[in-house]
Structure 1
Amino acid sequence: MVIRDVLPGADPGFDNRRLPVYEAGEIDVPFVVRGSDEVIARDTFWEEHAHPTHELLWNARGASSATVGARVWTITSTVGLWIPAGVRHSGWTPAGTRHRAAHFGVHAVPAIADRAVAVEVTPLLRLLLDRLSGEGLSGDERTRTEAMVVDLIAPARNEILLQLPDSPLLAPIVAAVLEDPADTTTLAAWAARLGVSTRTLTRAFRSETGLGFHRWVTTARVRHAIALLTRGEDIEEVAVCVGYHSASAFGTAFRRITGTSPGRFRAR
């Protein structure tokens, strides 16, 4: 399942991009780090693909998502995603996002993990990556900057990760919450509707996602809230849109998942 955040006012059509599938190191690239910068004009879906290089994704503006298997990461200006070379992934980037990427040659940069992992994109890391994208660096300056970039890449303390369960039992719950994050159906109500016990649903969620029902729903809500906040929506309106009766309750849930408040996140 691919999650696509099509928000109110968005163009219902979208661009579809196809990229090749490469094995790690299949192409011997002549660089250590090479970046790209693109303002996405239309909502864009990136079909499943894989690079011969390691990839770091982040956004200078807006929020997007990347999917690896059943795991969906939200990518922002402060939390990026490291994808090892050869790992298949797809993506969704809303219109208006300033999409950034950096590719790292496998011959020069070891993978920081053997799977996709969220990375903290600090102001210093952004400055160094911007420096590499500019012109006029000498060979020694580029080498030193690249070494600093590699040294700064580390797993984030907070990642916005939604694991999608694939069992038929949980499918109606997943579909309802993704369709409407403000859905307030309780665990007990879902259990009665599906003809099972709350204990059965709790076990299923923990087994397939590593989270309990409430934490999973909170993560799905916060994920949608981030998409709204990056569009400049009012915090109180966002709170209602994702199922909270007050901005304070929304703020508590948001901090629990992201490690920061909605206001501070939007300011960044």
Structure 2
Amino acid sequence: MPVPRQPVPRQPARHQPASRQARKAPPGVTSHVWPSGGRHLWPSGEISPPQVHDRGHLVYAAGGVLAVHTARGTSIVPANRVAWTPAGFTHRHRAHGDTDMRIVFLAPSLARLVPDRPAVFLASGLAREVLLTLTGPRNYDGTAPGHTRAARSRLLRVLVDELREADEQPLHLPEPHDDRLRALARMLYENPADTATLAELGRRTGASTRTLSRLFRAELGMTFYEWRTQLRIHHALVLLAEGHDTTRTAYACGWANPSGFIAAFTDVIGTTPGRYRAGHR
């Protein structure tokens, strides 16, 4: 199961200010919070409580791997990726490996320039440096003067411009709603190595191949095989971050051999599993 499925309420009756919510860090989490962002150091396996913010926010994992869960699905945020959650979306975070999570809130004037749904973007070198600057020590520990409002506004605009130029990444795994798709998804969440065909899975869930194919396209906007590949890549990112080697990860995620896994992983993530794993040691 790549990311445990947690019950998430659709939306609280009232929004609390983002800064008040962010202060309530789970036990074991070291947090620094300020009005425009925050930094949380998460031990592996830590899960935040469900929360919702009045402003949309970007999250970046300077170390480890972060999962962002919403009612729309799950986004995996490995190194060099940035996840966007719009305002009003109930969400929770989970750390895979010890994770250094950085958060930047966007004002509505900037939030309207990015998608109105959860998304994951490739982080350019410039975007990464801006994120680290906006969430670095000078924001919270008093060791250096903080940024002026004008300087922060300029940095935020550079960051949003970089994300608008970046490719959106296929790392958001949409959540099915049809009961037949949910039953199928549950089986593959629990066993990503299952190599059953769509016809075989259909027999287990009581739906025809044609019906399931139509539902995947209509609800999730992709084919079954595209969805399953994303599910397996999600699981692989988690296993690699937790220290598993390429061969073990390949078989645990359903690839017949490591070479097929390496090719698929590199195509989606942009680097080999070995290099990715080395960056998380």
TM-score normalised by length of structure 1: 0.79
Partner of 2:118: 116
Residue of structure 2 aligned with 1:254, choices 226, 240, 265: 265
**What CA distance in whole angstroms lies between the structure 2 residues aligned with 1:88 and 1:260?**
32
- AA of the residue aligned to 2:212: L
Alpha-carbon deviation of 1:70? 2.9
1:60 aligned residue? 62
What is the DSSP-based 3-state SS (H/G/I as helix, E as strand, rest coil) of the residue aligned with 1:182? coil
The whole-number CA distance in structure 1 between the counterparts of 2:155 and 2:202 is 55
In the alignment of these two chains, the number of paired residues is 251
Query: Could you report, residue by residue, the CA deviation over 1:88-145 in whole angstroms, capped at 9, with x for unpaired residues?
Result: 2223223511111112333676452222222222222222232233233563644543
Counterparts in 2 of 1:20 and 1:129: CA distance versus 1, 3 Å: farther
1:149 aligns with 2:149: no
Distance 2:200 2:48 in 1: 37
Stretches of structure 1 lacking an aligned partner (at least 5 in a row): 6-18
Q: 1:177 matched to which residue of 2?
A: 188
* Cα distance between partner residues in 1 of 2:266 and 2:13: 38
In the alignment, which residue of structure 2 is the partner of 1:75? 77
Q: Which residue of 1 aligns with 2:15?
A: 22
Q: CA 1:210 to 1:50, structure 2 compared with 1: closer, same or farther past 3 Å?
A: same
| Conserved 8 A contact 2:43-2:98 | yes
- After TM superposition, give the deviation of residue 244 of structure 1 in Å: 1.2
Q: Distance in 1 between matches of 2:181 and 2:163?
A: 36
Quote how far apart the aligned CAs of 1:50 are.
1.4
Range with bigger deviation, 196-205 or 229-238: 196-205
Which amino acid is the alignment partner of residue 221 of structure 1? R
Q: What is the aligned partner in structure 2 of residue 222 from structure 1?
A: 233
Contact 1:56–1:80 (8 Å) recurs in 2: yes
Per the TM alignment, residue 249 of structure 1 is displaced from its structure 2 partner at its CA by: 0.8
What letter corresponds to residue 223 of structure 2 in structure 1? G
2:96–2:241 contact (8 Å) kept in structure 1: no
Deviation at 1:192, TM superposition (A): 3.2
| Equivalent residue runs for 1:1-268 within 5 Å | 3-4=3-4, 22=15, 34-41=36-43, 43-94=45-96, 96-106=98-108, 110-132=112-134, 133=136, 134=138, 135-136=144-145, 139=148, 141-154=151-164, 155-268=166-279
Q: What's the CA shift for 1:64?
A: 1.8
Decide whether the 8 Å contact of 2:56 with 2:87 is kept in 1.
yes
Bigger helix share: 2
Q: Distance in 2 between matches of 1:110 and 1:85?
A: 11
Report the CA distance shift for 1:195/1:153 in structure 2 as closer, same or farther (over 3 A).
closer
Q: Secondary structure at the match of 1:45?
A: coil
Q: Percent identity?
A: 27
- Aligned residues of 1:21 and 1:88 also touching (Cα < 8 A): no
C-alpha distance in 2 between matches for 1:109 and 1:98: 24
Runs of 4+ with >6 A deviation: 23-27
For 1:49-82, what per-residue CA distance to the aligned partner results, in whole angstroms no more than 9, with x for missing partners? Answer: 2112221111011112112223211112211111
